[in-house]
Amino acid sequence: MAHSHDPHQHAPQRFDRAFALGIGLNLTYVLIEAFYGWQVNSLALLADAGHNLGDVGGLVLAWVAIAAARLRSNDRHTYGWRRASILASFANALLLLVAMGSLGWESLQRLQQPEPIAGVTVMVVASIGVLINAFTAWLFISGSKDDLNLRGAFMHMAADALVSIGVVLAGALYLWQGWLWLDPVVSLIIAAVIVIGTWSLFRQSLHLLFDGVPEQVDLAAVRQYLQGLPGVKDVHDLHVWAMSTNEVALTAHMLIEPLPADDRLLHEVTLELHEHFAIAHSTLQLEAEHGCQLSCARPPASPK
């Protein structure tokens, strides 16, 4: 039996500075938005401030998950707390869907009873939000490609930037044409776009929570590779799952004849799984047809 372990894969890529900066900027913006919303009696700004406060909570959740993933494993948590990153990505997707549902409901209510808005103030405050949210999203864009948890943080900020752009456009058109219905209609369109974009994050994170095979792993190709190895008669109990949002593990039993005298084959297989299938943690058990494992490939010498 052999285990492949890459120590560099255990520590999630560090985005501490990005999280600290993003949380600080967005919390400041929430206070600015809430203050001016109260000053001009704008329900739209106050509601968006509450939504952005929820997104700050999402950033905190993602950051805590990354910190938890760095905790060492022990006898009670042999895998450590890496799965916290999957849970955080699921929670972030769920929060975003709930927030967009709330925004859509509020927009429908406002569409039935349109209200005038303070166009200039709304545009200025929303423009600040575009800059802050877009910058925060940029902080996470590199990590979002490979880490589902960071993708959740990126999606939150990108969604907020999109909402703020919509508010700016709605404010400008309101000042130009005076259309009271424009603000809720734009909000409904933006909410629909964000829900469509978030559904993939929600679906993937839920899939990983139930030990589904990560989408980047072609299980059929992995099985074909293992079954094509010299001497391998059969591969069974093959399992591939995500230990975290950026770590994949594999276990498999391989029926092989004859059993190798050393672990050279195991070393080559685990290296190949890591290099070509991005599986950093693999546990392989070699079995002979009579059920003997690698550990008994060399029988002990008979006592003299």
Read off the pLDDT of residues 69-84 as tens digits, 9 standing for 90 and up: 788 888 888 888 888 8
What is the model's pLDDT at position 301?
44
Looking at the fold, whether 198 and 243 belong to one and the same domain comes out as: no
Looking at the fold, whether 244 and 113 belong to one and the same domain comes out as: no
Looking at the fold, whether 20 and 74 belong to one and the same domain comes out as: yes
Residue 137 has pLDDT above 50, yes or no: yes
Looking at the fold, whether 85 and 194 belong to one and the same domain comes out as: yes
Read off the pLDDT of residues 20-31 as tens digits, 9 standing for 90 and up: 999 999 999 889
pLDDT tier for residue 159 given thresholds of 50, 70 and 90: confident
How far is it, in rounded angstroms, from Cα 30 to Cα 59?
14
What percentage of the chain reaches a pLDDT higher than 90? 20
Looking at the fold, whether 166 and 267 belong to one and the same domain comes out as: no
Element (H, E) at 188: helix 182-209
Residue 291 has pLDDT above 70, yes or no: no
Looking at the fold, whether 57 and 109 belong to one and the same domain comes out as: yes
Instruction: Give 3 or 97, the one with higher predicted confidence.
Output: 97
What is the model's pLDDT at position 4?
47
What is the model's pLDDT at position 146?
76
How far is it, in rounded angstroms, from Cα 248 to Cα 32?
42
Looking at the fold, whether 277 and 188 belong to one and the same domain comes out as: no
Q: What CATH number has the domain bearing residue 255? A: 3.30.70.1350
Looking at the fold, whether 27 and 92 belong to one and the same domain comes out as: yes
Asked whether residue 81 is domain-assigned, the answer is yes
Looking at the fold, whether 226 and 190 belong to one and the same domain comes out as: no
Instruction: Give 194 or 2, the one with higher predicted confidence.
Output: 194
Looking at the fold, whether 201 and 285 belong to one and the same domain comes out as: no
Asked whether residue 230 is domain-assigned, the answer is yes
How far is it, in rounded angstroms, from Cα 256 to Cα 263?
13
What is the model's pLDDT at position 246?
79
Looking at the fold, whether 162 and 269 belong to one and the same domain comes out as: no
Read off the pLDDT of residues 170-214 as tens digits, 9 standing for 90 and up: 788 878 877 777 777 877 887 787 788 788 888 988 999 999 999
Given 209, 243, 267, the domain boundary residue is 209
Read off the pLDDT of residues 210-232 as tens digits, 9 standing for 90 and up: 999 998 899 999 999 999 988 88
**Closest to 295 in 3D by CA, of 261, 266, 271:** 261
Looking at the fold, whether 33 and 80 belong to one and the same domain comes out as: yes
Asked whether residue 46 is domain-assigned, the answer is yes
What is the model's pLDDT at position 72?
83
Q: Are 82 and 244 in contact (CB under 8 A)?
A: yes
Count how many domains the chain has.
2
pTM for the predicted model, two decimal places: 0.73
Which one-letter DSSP state was computed for residue 286? E
**Closest to 240 in 3D by CA, of 254, 220, 225, 219:** 219
pLDDT tier for residue 42 given thresholds of 50, 70 and 90: low
**Closest to 208 in 3D by CA, of 239, 237, 243:** 243
**Closest to 15 in 3D by CA, of 178, 142, 162:** 142
Read off the pLDDT of residues 237-283 as tens digits, 9 standing for 90 and up: 999 999 887 789 999 999 988 888 778 888 899 999 999 998 988 99
What is the model's pLDDT at position 235?
93
Structural domain boundaries enclosing 186: 2-209
Asked whether residue 304 is domain-assigned, the answer is no
Residue 11 has pLDDT above 70, yes or no: no
Asked whether residue 140 is domain-assigned, the answer is yes
Lowest mean pLDDT among 39-53, 129-143, 284-298: 284-298
What is the model's pLDDT at position 5?
47
